Amino acid sequence: MGDDFRDKPSGILPGLMPEGAAMPEGSGQEAAASSSPAETATKRKKGGDDKRERPHYAGHRERLRARFLSAGAEALADYELLELVLFRAIPRRDVKPLAKELISRFGSFAEVLAAPPKRLMEVPGVGEAVATELKIVQAAAVRLARQEARKKPVFRGWADLISYCRAAMARAEREEFRILFLDVKNQLIADEVQGRGTIDHTPVYPREVVRRALELSAASIILLHNHPSGDPTPSRADIEMTKKIIAAAEPLGILVHDHIVIGRQGHASMRALGLL
């Protein structure tokens, strides 16, 4: 139980012998000389009976954690940051090959986190525990981005907002239409999903959009939706729907700042494209 045998006598004490057992010939010290705990342990080590080698990946994990703590996430490649996440879900295996395979399959650290659990579990070595751990990290990142957006005007944190939208929507398998409701200082009041549709269509009702903006006392809105196909180029239907929302919102003093389309290959701003 962790005692140091060097502090114990080498002989066998009669009181520790099983009842009825005969003491070995000669003195207790002589009999014990060949069977002391320390020597037995040495024999086992030499014979390989109880040899326990440290896993090769243990040192790698310690070094990677130390590098993360000393240099930060920016010093790590995508697969290395993913390794740190996988350590929790897979405590007794080298996870570097799996991390590299996930990055190769999905393209980046962010896209691995955003991938649907079913697609994650298509990768050999990814079970429910790994998929769940990855989705927990994604949920934490999305919630952090949302909280950060609420602390400041949206347009001062535009890059952060786009990152949040891509993490939340870029790899969704079906179209999703959401609205960011802003106050007069362009601070985020609410981020709400207004509809989920098929692989290439989400029904949107302009009057419902405007009604919700009035309920929240929003001064302006930003429209968002994703293209599961990957190409963020706005469709003709996207442009026409946006113009209908603008027409319904304008008489009530609600400004539509932009309609942003999120795809796996990037994002497109209708405002920047001159479509609004």
Instruction: Report whether pLDDT(17) > 70.
Output: no
What integer pLDDT is reported at residue 187 of this predicted model?
85
Q: 86, 108, 142: which is the final residue of a domain? A: 142
pLDDT greater than 50 at residue 34: no
Q: Is 97 contained in some domain?
A: yes
Structure confidence at residue 80 as a pLDDT band (50, 70, 90): very high
The answer to whether residues 77 and 127 belong to one domain is yes
Query: Is the domain of 97 the same as that of 183?
Result: no
Query: Same domain for 92 and 180?
Result: no
Q: Are residues 112 and 172 in the same domain?
A: no
223 and 116: one domain?
A: no
pLDDT-derived band at 211, boundaries 50, 70, 90: very high
Q: pLDDT, tens digit, for every residue of 130-156?
A: 999 999 999 998 888 777 766 666 656
Q: Is residue 95 part of a domain?
A: yes
* Percentage of residues of the chain with pLDDT beyond 90: 37
Whole-angstrom CA distances from 185 to 154, 189, 204 are 9, 10, 27
Q: Is residue 1 part of a domain?
A: no
81-126 tens-digit pLDDT:
999 999 988 988 889 999 999 999 998 898 899 888 999 999 999 9
Residues 176 and 247 grouped into a single domain: yes
Count of other CB atoms within 10 angstroms of residue 247: 12
Residue 33 pLDDT exceeds 50: no
Last residue of one domain, picked from the residues 142, 163, 192: 142
Q: Which of 32-41, 94-103, 188-197 tops mean pLDDT? A: 94-103
Same domain, 230 and 252: yes
| H/E stretch holding 154 | none
Strands 176-182 and 255-263: unpaired
pLDDT score, position 4: 46
Q: What's the domain range around 91?
A: 56-142
Residues of the chain with pLDDT > 70, as a percent, come to: 73
Helix runs in 107-201, H state only: 109-114, 117-120, 128-150, 158-169
Check whether residue 165 and residue 206 sit in a common domain.
Answer: yes
**Residue 129 to residues 1, 10, 104: CA-CA distances in angstroms?**
34, 50, 20
Residue 134 lies inside a defined structural domain of this protein: yes
Domain of 255: which CATH number? 3.40.140.10
Residues 161, 237: one domain?
yes
DSSP three-state, residue 206: helix
Residues 191, 124 within the same domain: no
Nearest to 233 by CA among 200, 255, 205, 256: 200
- Residue 171 inside a domain? The answer is yes
Per-residue pLDDT band at 218 (split at 50, 70, 90): very high
Angle, helices 78-89 vs 96-106, to 10°: value is 120
Q: How many domains would you assign to the chain? A: 2
Say yes or no to pLDDT of 13 above 60: no
Q: What pLDDT, on a 0 to 100 scale, did the predictor assign at position 92? A: 82
Query: Could you say which of 121, 142, 163 is where a domain stops?
Result: 142
Residue 185 resides in a domain: yes
Residues 6+ apart with CB under 8 A from 238: 225, 259, 261, 270
pLDDT grade for 12, boundaries at 50, 70 and 90? very low
Tell whether 173 and 264 lie within a shared domain: yes
Residue 34 belongs to some domain of the structure: no
Q: Is residue 181 part of a domain?
A: yes
Which of 19-28, 68-77, 146-155, 212-221 is the least confident region? Answer: 19-28
Q: What are the C-alpha distances in Å from 102 to residues 70, 74, 86, 91, 268? A: 26, 19, 11, 18, 27
Average pLDDT, the chain: 78
φ, ψ of residue 263 in degrees (nearest 5): -135, 170
Q: Is the pLDDT of residue 262 over 60?
A: yes
Q: Are residues 121 and 196 in the same domain?
A: no
